[in-house]
Structure 1
Amino acid sequence: MKMRMKLFLTFWAFGIVIFLLSNRSITGLSLGGEGLAEPVTVLLLAVSTIAGFSYLLAITYCKRLEGLAGQAQIAVRQRTAAPIGSMRSRNEIDTITHAVNKLKEQLTEGEAIRNQLVADVAHELRTPIAILRGHLETILEGAMDLDREHLLPLLDETKRMSRLIQDMQDLNLAEAGKLALDRSWAPFGSILEEIVSILEIEAEAKSITLHLDGEGEGELYGDMSRIKQVFINLIGNAVRYTPRGGRVDVHYKYHDGQVRVTVSDNGPGIAPESLPYIFKRFYRVENSRNRMSGGTGLGLAIAKEFIEVHNGAIHVESAPGAGTAFTVMLPIFPPNP
């Protein structure tokens, strides 16, 4: 109501000034001397007309703003994601409406992500906390000895919770574009050789052939600790989920200012309906990919974010019974390091 009155007075005053200026310059009427009644009548008529027109303009502009404000208040109370206002015409109010709707979408999406994050973390922490509590209660009751054999599982669970928290922190920083990168030049082929040599022990324990080959030699500019984490995760997953006696191949190739890495296996593969969600937080393809594998459920989500902060890309190809292949493309020197 205050805005409507302000607009009315503004339009009215502006109209009066325009009328008086036009009256003096065009018709030469004067408010003094002979013939006073006619100018006063004209002036009163003009003031009334301008007042009415000004009020209509104020109502027209304020009605849409008041409607927009009302819809916004309803949306806040009902916490609805429905858009506010309409876009039937193009003017400043529609621009405001569009901006408010965009902001509302972002807030709604942010709230959904936050709620999902809290639910995921609560779910992931529930099991290790239950294990810790159960063991400690058993020890306090005297049914279990306080020795190395029974303390090691408790230490493993605390490490798992610490790793989950660290992974969540890194993932949130990467998604927000605030992940600090310690970039340097390093021989990329040697880094892959180091990772493969570490995972060969796990592969040999399952009689899995782990093979690395490459085309070309050169260095890569990036945060090597983050890049190592990506490929330890990808190659480690391939070894972990490939059945005994299987094969995992790691191939890299330098081409056109990029290095392309493919990690493929002949494991059970991934169902088509699961592929769109493979890089989501805490998403696991099947029951076999559960917490017993030692993962936090964040590995592929982190891998994707770490690759993207290096201006790279990652995608997956798979089919049930045909194995899985992850392909990573990394620029040798990113355009915006």
Structure 2
Amino acid sequence: MTISDNQEPTKKSRKVVRAAGRSSTKRADVEAAISAVTNIEQEVIGEFEEHREAQLRAMLSDGSAAKQILGEIKGDISDSLNRSHDFLQLVKQIRGNVTAILEERFPGQLPEVSAEDLPHEGAIFFSTEIMQSKIDATLYLREPNAIFATERVFEIHKYVTKYYRIYKSQTEQKEVNLRLNGSCYAKVKYNDKAVGVIIHALLDNVVKYAPAGSKADINFHEESGRVRITFQSLGPKICPEEMEKIFLPGYRSNAARERDLPGLGLGLGAARQISDMLNIDLGVEQDEKECAGFPGLHSTRFTVSFNAIDTRST
């Protein structure tokens, strides 16, 4: 939970603080943590950006260089995570406390649903959820074996809906109409946290590139023991020779780089590594023609396909 540094506590807030004990954090701590963890990616930009093009050229000319490149990125990630260890722990603490508050206010209701009804607590909850997904992505790049952590059975539609709610507020702020389409009752069996990194990466890509006034869709299609989910939105041009490169750790398409938006391309890199190791299909396609009214942007579709283990008719 969070408490104001200056605000006079109410009877209820004092009760919550006593219950939380030492886990209580001040607003200044929350703001510092959010600021620090949001910039984790930025900490490593300067460390390997100047070497990125040379590394990619080496990799494309010699496939064996890929492991060396990933190894160097892992080193940068490890250094950044180690320097930010205290803030990462604080984020986990804040995430746990705000979740407890949401569960107290709305017993039996999912935190991501409750967060929509409490703007201030909800903003903190959604921020920490996104931060945690970014942290998980870097951890899986650093420690690939963690991808094979304990599997569990879960309904993929409900799971994606959680991330849809988390990103809905961000797309609304950008004036992008994000829609969730289609029903699905299939269950899948994977490491759900690893799957969450894939979903996070694809939605993060939507938020980053979709322009104001545009629409973005998450479409479900279920058939023959498979669940296919397509994330469709407008994005910068991806040349044919870049279609596979954009899934390489650290690579961004030429058009994306020209837009000078923050990021290292680690999200899609982590998503591809997870999908390959768990035998999940992940791909991208794009319309060749620019979208009318949005110069330089094309309709882009990232598709991820899962094996279903249980399908029920509607």
TM range (shorter): 0.5 to 0.7
Structure 2 match to 1:332: 308
Equivalent AA in structure 2 for residue 318 of structure 1: Q
Structure 2 matches for 1:128-167, cutoff 5 A? 167=137
Structure 1 match to 2:163: 195
CA RMSD in angstroms comes to 3.6
**CA, structure 1 residues 124+265, in 2 after alignment: closer, same or farther (shift >3 Å)?**
farther
1:133-157 Cα shifts (integer Å, max 9, x gaps): xxxxxxxxxxxxxxxxxxxxxxxxx
Is 1:114 aligned to 2:84, yes or no?
no
Structure 1 match to 2:257: 287
Structure 2 match to 1:220: 188
- For normalisation by structure 1, the TM-score amounts to 0.49
Say if 2:133 and 2:197, in contact at 8 Å, map to a contact too.
no
Structure 1 match to 2:207: 239
**CA, structure 1 residues 324+269, in 2 after alignment: closer, same or farther (shift >3 Å)?**
farther
Say if 1:163 and 1:296, in contact at 8 Å, map to a contact too.
no
Say if 2:247 and 2:269, in contact at 8 Å, map to a contact too.
yes
Say if 2:285 and 2:300, in contact at 8 Å, map to a contact too.
yes
**CA, structure 1 residues 109+271, in 2 after alignment: closer, same or farther (shift >3 Å)?**
closer
SS at match of 1:221: strand
Is 1:170 aligned to 2:140, yes or no?
yes
* Distance in 2 (alpha carbons) for counterparts of 1:237 and 1:203: 11
* Distance in 2 (alpha carbons) for counterparts of 1:111 and 1:124: 20
* Distance in 1 (alpha carbons) for counterparts of 2:242 and 2:157: 31
Aligned pair count reads 192
**CA, structure 1 residues 181+264, in 2 after alignment: closer, same or farther (shift >3 Å)?**
same
* Distance in 2 (alpha carbons) for counterparts of 1:184 and 1:123: 28
* Distance in 2 (alpha carbons) for counterparts of 1:190 and 1:163: 17
1:289 Cα deviation after fit? 6.1
Is 1:271 aligned to 2:239, yes or no?
yes
Say if 2:140 and 2:146, in contact at 8 Å, map to a contact too.
no
Structure 2 match to 1:208: 176
1:192-227 Cα shifts (integer Å, max 9, x gaps): 111111101110111101001124312221111111
SS at match of 1:330: strand
Say if 1:213 and 1:250, in contact at 8 Å, map to a contact too.
yes
Equivalent AA in structure 2 for residue 265 of structure 1: S
Gapped runs of 5+ residues in structure 2?
A: 1-61, 84-130, 291-297
Gapped runs of 5+ residues in structure 1?
A: 1-107, 130-159
Equivalent AA in structure 2 for residue 118 of structure 1: E
1:277 Cα deviation after fit? 0.4
1:253 Cα deviation after fit? 1.8
Larger Rg: 1
Say if 1:235 and 1:263, in contact at 8 Å, map to a contact too.
yes
RCO comparison, higher one (Cα < 8 Å, 6+): 2
